[in-house]
Structure 1
Amino acid sequence: MNATIDLNADLGEGFGHWRLTDDEALLASVTSANVACGFHAGDPATMRRVCELAAERGVRIGAQVSYRDLAGFGRRAMDVPAAELTAEVAYQIGALDVFARAAGTAVSYVKPHGALYNRAVHDAEQAAAVVAGVRLAGDAAGGQRLPVLGLPGSRLLAAAAEAGLPTVEEAFADRAYRPDGTLVPRSEPGAVLHDPEQVVARSVRLARDGEIVAADGRVLRSAARSLCVHGDTPAAALLARRVREELAAAGVTVEAFA
């Protein structure tokens, strides 16, 4: 089987003098960079720096939009009116796109972060608001139809497809899955996988065989076109490098979807 998969990670997750992700090291391995747009992390200087680094390395830039929650890193549940969320999503995309274009490229896709990502899996209204924000930002950029990256079977991807936006299914190398294909909440034990050997093996199996094993041992089918390694996990850059090396060794082509 001649498999191909994109490798994405969250970057730019810092603020001021505080930095969480090793952006330069991650950019040596990933093909797509989900860049924080200032609502859960990131600031203008960080966004500009990461866009410049990504452009230099030929890594595609994605807007990682979030609820306005710097204190909670975008991982706290929030109730945001749909119209407000639409405007905030468009605002974040537009802010990042300024720095991406200044670096000679552009925002290539959109991926929600944290609580917004998980909420948009089941909540049709919030999913539609995110998609409306993506459409608004794209229309302002000359009618661009930005791909939306999300969980297979989610309300988010359904809303994006209905709105005429390209959709990209993703899977997570370092997160545990429920039998229904959703992620185990971070509040539960074992939600994040830290064993490098386990993460690498899951990545290869997903890309090569289209399978991922849920927390109860059930084998789930997946047609994911992108694989995420979280940038804020310990030794994330080393893990991303190992995942890419082992994917290549297994005959999997690693390249950006966008």
Structure 2
Amino acid sequence: MQLTVDLNADVGEGFGRWSLGDDAAVIATVTSANVACGFHAGDPATMATTVRTALEHDVAVGAHVSYRDLAGFGRRYVDATEAELVGDVVYQIGALAGVCRTLGARIGYVKPHGALYNTIADADGRGAVHARAVIEAVGHYDAELPVVGLAGSSFLDHAARAGLEVVPEAFADRAYTPEGALVSRREPGSVLHDAEEVAARMVTLARTGTVTAVDGSTVAVEARSICVHGDSPGAVVMAQAVRAALADAGVGLGSFAAGPRAA
């Protein structure tokens, strides 16, 4: 049984006059905040507001980097070259880091978003070039920054070999295939909505390192961090239920990353 686990959420995903999710309530519940950096969502003002909220709650701040895809919320594959993607990832980390610096905060880790996250999970296959680009970008920017990726994915193996600290991640509200991958959002039942069911699944994950797949089989998922999506319906209730269930089961909650305040 894990003594401590991180609970993270995607936040700061509004843009301009449009808001998405109750960031304040979600951030108050988690231990790490994945802040959109402007390519799939977010803008300077939204980033600043989100970082301030993370500071108020002593929640770690991570750069939630994405393909350049505002219209598709970063959920569409972009056929960028390796050099283009390296630049895009560095640009996004730098944008959030600049906002953090003005507020006395710091970035504690990097987590890819959406289609980029899913593509690079297959670092030995179709995602090899983009996985290499993300690893190169993080290493060039700050090789001390941990990088978050799908538990069991080849991306984490490649990143670790490159000298980066890796953080295997599980998803509280997503269904898993028997192979340990996430069920595509295009498939029915890919997103789970029952807060009590999700909370119970995450207690099992923390205790045994396993989840139940869509076919009823048991899948090994060794994760240091659990993601609850901040933009889904009932996100706040879901996050609160997961946190309460873990605490009741004796699982400690704490971020793997440095705190949000600048050293």
Please classify the TM superposition score into its range, dividing by the shorter chain length.
Answer: over 0.9
Change (3 A) 1:161 1:2: closer
| Residues 226 and 2 of structure 1, relative CA distance in 2, 3 Å threshold | closer
Deviations 1:25-71 (A, max 9, x none): 01110000000000000000000111111012110000000000000
Structure 1, gaps ≥5 residues long: 139-143
- Given that residues 124 and 155 in structure 1 are in contact (C-alpha distance below 8 angstroms), is that contact kept between their aligned partners in structure 2? no
Count of matched residue pairs: 253
Q: Percent identity?
A: 58
Residue of structure 1 in register with 2:260 after alignment: none
1:124 matched to 2:115: no
Say whether residues 1:25 and 2:25 are aligned partners. yes
Residue 56 of structure 2: aligned partner: 56
- Note if contact 1:37-1:64 (Cα within 8 Å) is conserved in structure 2: yes
1:108 aligns with: 108
- For the residue of structure 2 that corresponds to 1:164, the secondary structure is coil
TM-score, with structure 1 as normaliser: 0.95
1:256 match:
255
Shift of 1:9: 0.3
Match of 2:92, as an amino acid? Q
Equivalent in the alignment of 1:141:
none
Give runs of aligned pairs for residues 34-45 of structure 1, distance below 5 A.
34-45=34-45
Deviations 1:129-175 (A, max 9, x none): 0111111221xxxxx51100001232321221121110000100000
- Quick check: 1:2–1:251 contact (8 Å CA) kept in 2? no
The CA deviation at 1:2 is 5.6
Does the 8 Å contact 1:145/1:166 carry over to 2? Answer: yes
For residues 148-227 of structure 1, what are the structure 2 equivalents within 5 Å? Answer: 148-227=147-226
How many Å separate the matches in 1 of 2:149 and 2:100? 22
Q: Work out the CA distance in 2 between the residues paired with 1:136 and 1:187.
A: 35
Residue of structure 2 equivalent to 1:5:
5
- Separation in structure 1 between the aligned mates of residue 107 and residue 225 of structure 2, nearest angstrom: 17
Quick check: 2:195–2:238 contact (8 Å CA) kept in 1? yes
Return the alpha-carbon distance in structure 2 between the equivalents of residues 95 and 136 of structure 1: 15
Aligned residue among 136, 140, 151 for 2:140: 136
Distance (whole Å) between structure 2 residues aligned to residue 90 and residue 131 of structure 1: 11
One-letter code aligned to 1:130? V
In the TM superposition, structure 1's runs of 4+ consecutive aligned residues that sit over 4 Å from their partners are none
TM-score (norm 2): 0.94
Rounded Cα–Cα distance in structure 1 between residues aligned with 2:93 and 2:155: 17
Q: Give the gaps of 5 or more residues in structure 2.
A: 258-263
